[in-house]
Amino acid sequence: MSRNVSIIGGGVIGLVTGLSLARSTADSGTDYQVEIIEKEERVGNQSTAVAGYGIRTVYRHPVNLYLAQKGLQFWSTLSETSETGFRRNGYLFLTNDDEMSSTLQRERTRQISNGFPAEIRTPVDPGEFSTEEINRYRTGLFSPVSAVSDSARTIESIRHLCEQSGVRIRTGEEVTDIEDEGTQCRLETTESTEWADTVVNAAGVWADEIAQLTGETLPVEASARKLAVLERTVDPEMPLVVDVDTGFYMLPGHDNTLYAGGDFRHERADESYSRLLKQYGSEAYDGISDAPLDELRAGYYAMTPSRVPIIERTGNIVHVCGFSGHGFMQAPGAASVVKRMILPDETNVLREELLSSDRTLSVTDIQF
Ligand SMILES: Cc1cc2nc3c(=O)[nH]c(=O)nc-3n(C[C@H](O)[C@H](O)[C@H](O)COP(=O)(O)OP(=O)(O)OC[C@H]3O[C@@H](n4cnc5c(N)ncnc54)[C@H](O)[C@@H]3O)c2cc1C
């Protein structure tokens, strides 16, 4: 039997989902013809191009914890055969605040009870986690299994694997309409009209627009974020450091350059943002103050109210969106959930009601 799956969006979610479905053809007895339709001239050119490629395990919601674990496994295994720059440098959460110190202590307990190692340092000594000087903080939560990867090399590897596995990638083509006709979906694009057995909406911050084409709405909102690339070489083993009091974070990026970011409730990607970044950043790391700015990347988080993604099937359409700033690390887990929603006789470990767009979740996850 042959089934067509059309994936809207060639970001990391669409690519990893496409790969996962194409690879399942051999096991399922069904020939999955997977197409990715991407409106940009190349894949991975929107949020996926901006991300820091950090992979953390420090989450509160069971869905995010599950997706994090899957992500770590997948990206770690991939790095054995592909040059993705994956390194288990760990994440270091820092605070000078009394209440936040207690919160980090509780997060350590949660991490351990979920099977992830975690250590508390009180205080955090300068230089302990890298040869670069991280300033002294009252409390630090260190998650040693968390990791970082190289963005461009990772996406190139996934794109290549998709093509090797028979996924057809069409770029420069926008999906403009979808009609679920019961047995199949009719798709209108800027180039053609076609039918697919299943459509996957992996359109990132445009996911709600895609859902609206089918008469649905999704609670996914765009939140502008920036990532600065600085002309400063850092220790390649430096952990991803988050000052939870200010939201500032930094990590070693490509060629061991310093990547840094944070929200700071500042919308514009301009000189005033770089000043704020250095002001908050110098509380964590003195070396940022005089580091020249090489590039300021601007992109979006696709936010859900709970910071937990939506993965739901309605008729022949599967929506997979709302990654709230965690899409790279959660893509492999999300792809396996989507795959199980599509393949016959498969069930998901995660309960559908935790993933649906009309859920009410009691936990809002940690955000920075
Ligand atoms: C500054 C910053 C830092 C980040 N850091 C991290 C991090 O450290 N770790 C992490 O895990 N995540 C991080 N993220 C989040 C991560 O980048 C996103 O969650 C992830 O890239 C989302 O992938 P996506 O495929 O859903 O979206 P996108 O990459 O935006 O892909 C969606 C695609 O859909 C296409 N599309 C939309 N509408 C249509 C249409 N009608 N027809 C055809 N194509 C369409 C778009 O062109 C786009 O390419 C960060 C994000 C930002 C902005």
Per-domain residue ranges of the chain: 2-49+152-218+305-355, 91-144+222-302
Lowest pLDDT segment from 120-124, 162-166, 267-271, 303-307? 267-271
Mean confidence (pLDDT) of the chain: 93
Residue 165 has pLDDT above 80, yes or no: yes
The Cα-based distances of 20 to 34, 45, 195, 211, 340 in angstroms read 10, 21, 21, 23, 10
Q: Kindly indicate whether the domain formed by 91-144+222-302 is annotated with CATH number 3.30.300.130.
A: no
CB 8 near ligand 1, within 6 Å: yes
**C-beta of residue 306 within 8 angstroms of C-beta of residue 221:** no
Q: What would the two tokens of residue 306 be? A: 């709970």
* Residue-level pLDDT at 48: 96
For ligand 1, atom 12, which residue shows the shortest CA distance? 326
Q: In what order do the strands lie in the sheet with 168-170?
A: 168-170, 31-37, 2-8, 198-201, 317-321, 310-314
- CB-based burial label for 107 (10 Å; 0-12, 13-18, 19+): buried
Phi and psi at residue 218, to the nearest 5°: -125, 140
Helices (H), the chain: 12-28, 47-50, 62-81, 98-113, 151-164, 207-213, 271-281, 327-342, 352-355
pLDDT value of position 118: 96
Instruction: Tell if the pTM clears 0.85, that is, is over it.
Output: yes
Q: Is 204 exposed, middle or buried (0-12, 13-18, 19+ CB in 10 A)?
A: buried
- Determine whether the shortest distance from the Cβ of 259 to ligand 1 is under 6 A: no
What digits encode the pLDDT tens for the residues 63-120? Answer: 999 999 999 999 999 999 999 999 999 999 999 999 999 999 999 999 999 999 999 9
Hey, whose CA ends up nearest to atom 19 of ligand 1? 327
**What percentage of the chain reaches a pLDDT higher than 90?**
83
Verify whether ligand 1 is closer than 6 Å to residue 111 (CB atom).
no
Cβ(37) – ligand 1 distance below 6 Å: yes
CA distance 159 to 161: 6
- At residue 126, the pLDDT reads 75
- The verdict on the CB of residue 262 being under 6 Å from ligand 1 is no
Measured by CA distance, the residue closest to atom 16 of ligand 1 is 327
202 lines ligand 1 (CB under 6 A): yes
- Lowest-confidence range among 133-137, 237-241, 306-310? 133-137
**What's the mean pLDDT in 224-235?**
94
Cis-peptide into 123, omega within 30 deg: yes
Q: What is the pLDDT averaged over residues 244-267? A: 91
Q: Find tokens 């940009």 and name the residue.
A: 40
pLDDT tens-digit readout, 171-182: 999 999 999 999
Q: Do domains 2-49+152-218+305-355 and 91-144+222-302 have the same CATH topology?
A: no
Residue 325 CA: distances (Å) to CA of 3, 48, 210, 258? 32, 10, 20, 19
Cβ 53 under 6 angstroms from ligand 1: yes
Specify the pLDDT at position 131. Answer: 66
Q: Tell me, what's the pLDDT at 113?
A: 94
Q: What span, in angstroms and rounded, lies between the C-alpha atoms of 240 and 178? A: 41
List Cα–Cα distances, 124 to 92, 121, 158, 279, in angstroms.
Answer: 10, 5, 37, 21
299 Cβ inside 6 Å of ligand 1? yes
State whether the beta carbon of 18 lies less than 6 angstroms from ligand 1.
no
Question: What separation in Å is there between the alpha carbon of 225 and the centre of ligand 1?
Answer: 12
CA-to-CA dists, residue 189 to 135, 170, 174, 299, angstroms: 53, 11, 5, 25
Task: Look at residue 362 in the predicted model and tell me its pLDDT.
Answer: 76
Ligand 1 contact via 57 beta carbon (within 6 Å) = no
Look at residue 8 and tell me whether its pLDDT is greater than 70.
yes
**Ligand 1 pocket check: which of 7, 48, 75 to mutate, most ligand atoms within 8 Å of Cβ?**
48
How many whole angstroms from 319 Cα to the centroid of ligand 1? 14
Greater model confidence, 50 or 364? 50
Q: Quote the ligand 1 centre to 106 CA distance (angstroms).
A: 31
Q: Are 89 and 149 in contact (CB under 8 A)?
A: no
Ligand 1 atom 4, closest CA? 51
Give residue 226 CA to ligand 1 midpoint distance, Å. 13
Contact present, 339 and 346 (Cβ < 8 Å): yes
> Does 267 score more than 80 pLDDT?
no
State the distance from the centre of ligand 1 to the C-alpha of 107, rounded, in angstroms. 28
**Cβ neighbourhood burial of 1 (10 Å; 0-12, 13-18, 19+):** exposed
Taking the centre of ligand 1 as the mean of its atom positions, its distance from the CA of residue 46, in whole angstroms, is 5
**Homologous superfamily, domain 2-49+152-218+305-355:** FAD/NAD(P)-binding domain (3.50.50.60)
